[in-house]
Every structure is written in structure tokens, then in C-alpha cells.
Amino acid sequence: MIRSVDAHVHLWNRATDPQPWIDPVTMAAIDRDFAHGDLERMLDSTGVDVAVVVQSINSAAETRRLLTQPGPRVAGVVGWADLTGDVAAQLDELGALDAAARRRLVGIRHLVHVDPDPGWLGRPDVGAALDRLAAAGLGFDLVVRSWQLPLAATVAAAHPGVRFVVDHLGGLAEADDDDGWEAGLRELAARPNTYAKISGLAGLVSHGDGARLRRAVGVALEAFGPERLMYGSDWPLAELGCGPVAWREAVDELIGELSPEERQAVTSGTASAFYRLGT
């Protein structure tokens, strides 16, 4: 039985999968490679059983490596596929790796928030590909800026058979209009096929912005409910903020008034169900 899940971590070896977005000055804490041993130590420090590894670059090669080089604490992989191309063929190619590798693929993500096309998510070919992902039993991770939330809500409504999970509570950390962010997140949450990750906000803890964090999690709990929320550390990026241990402690405090069943949903149940872990 999976008792706890970290729904959002990354691994990278820059010799095979360069991470050009890492600034060695402002991001010195993560300016190195992160491997399975590092992940195991982090999970032990936060008291978590397993993790879902999420793609960090739009690369089919990275996805293949993540799927074929499993670690003992990796419950699933959210990989990348070109949703403007032949998705069925790409999934078939991943399936040809071996059956176990294909089973590790639990979702797909595209870096929508930095795509040169601001309307990428609303493209007809992307929409058709999203439906193919649903037919293959895969969810889609939404990594968007707060201003992209209305488009995400429109797309979720147009594709009710697709399971969407918005990473990092919809980009609150980068939002310059918290009221606009809240309206966008609530609009997205009104679609029953949407979920959200309490992740990517460790910087609010290190910056002492507890009031903003409490508001964010309160809005998410009210809009989605615990049954559609999941905990994620966003490690190793959490090292740029308060660190994964302090972040886990902050989340535990924020959900401390929920019932035991509701807390279990956030820390394990929702992620297990959404990503179909252990099936």
C-alpha cells in the first residue's frame, strides 16, 4: 500500500539532457545533476514513500531515459510527447521499449508556460491529441502562468474526457495579480475533470509570505476540495526556496485541520487515483 506520494519531482543528468534554463548564479543550489540516490534521500527526509517524476524539458529522449532507467522510489513518470504530431505513433514507440517502461508512463506534460505560441493549448491538433491521451489512460499536467488559466479552463471544458492536473496551483508564485489568479483557478476548478498540485510555492515560505500561501491553499481547498488536490515538493526546485523538508512541514500545517481522510487524499489518495499508480 502506498502511504504517501510526492506528485512532482524532477531528475536530470545534464550530460544527456541539458537544462539551459538553470542560471548558475541565481540558481546555484540546483546547478548540478540530480539522480535516484538524491531522490531517495529527499523522500526519506520528508517521510514520503514514492514520487512521480515529471519531465523537465520538451524531449522525447529524456522521456525514454526516465522510463527505462527506473528507481525503486519512482511510482510513475510524466513524460513529454509532441502533441502537434502523431501522438498514437509516439505512444506506440514508447510501448515498444518494453511493457514495464510503458506502464511507468502515467501522464504527459508540455511546457505550455514558455511555449512561443501563447495559444498553444487551444490549438485544434493539440485538442485532438489530448483526447488520444485520454483514450490511452494518460492524464495531462498543465504547467501554465496565471494569465493562461482561463484558456486552460476552456480547453478542459471542451475535452471532458481528459484528466487535467494544474501544476503549482496555476502559477501563483509568478502572478502579479492574485485576484486574477484566484478567478482563473476557480474557473478551472469548476470543470470536474481538473485537479491541482500544491507545489512550486516553497519560495513563499522562504520569503516569509505565509499570508499569501495560506490564501492560495485555502482557495484551492475550497475550489477543488481535498479529493482533487495532491501534494508535490517540486524538488529539486524547492531547494531554491525553503527546501523540501520545510515545504512538507508547511503543507502539513496548512492541511492540518482537515479530517484524516481528507489529509490522506492530499498526501496520497488523489495522486494515486489520478496517475493510476500501482495498477
The DSSP string of 155-190 is HHHH-TTS-EEETHHHHGGG-S-HHHHHHHHHHHHT
**Beta 194-198 vs 5-9: how paired, if at all?**
unpaired
pLDDT at 185: 98
Give residue 1's pLDDT: 58
Instruction: Kindly tell me the number of DSSP H helices and DSSP E strands found in the chain.
Output: 13, 8
Q: Are 53 and 10 in contact (CB under 8 A)?
A: yes
In whole angstroms, what is the distance from residue 213 CA to residue 229 CA? 15
Strand order in the sheet with 5-9: 5-9, 50-54, 74-79, 105-110, 139-142, 164-166, 194-198, 229-231
- Residue ranges in the chain whose pLDDT is less than 70: 1, 279
Quote the pLDDT of residue 86: 97
- Write out pLDDT tens, residues 142-174: 999 999 999 999 999 999 999 999 999 999 988
pTM above 0.95, yes or no: yes
Half-sphere exposure of 274 (CA within 13 A, CB side): 36
For 6, phi then psi, to 5°, come to: -95, 110
At 99 the pLDDT is 87
pLDDT of residue 196: 98
Per-residue pLDDT tens for 225-270? 999 999 999 999 999 999 999 999 999 999 999 999 999 999 999 9
CB 231 within 8 A of CB 267: yes
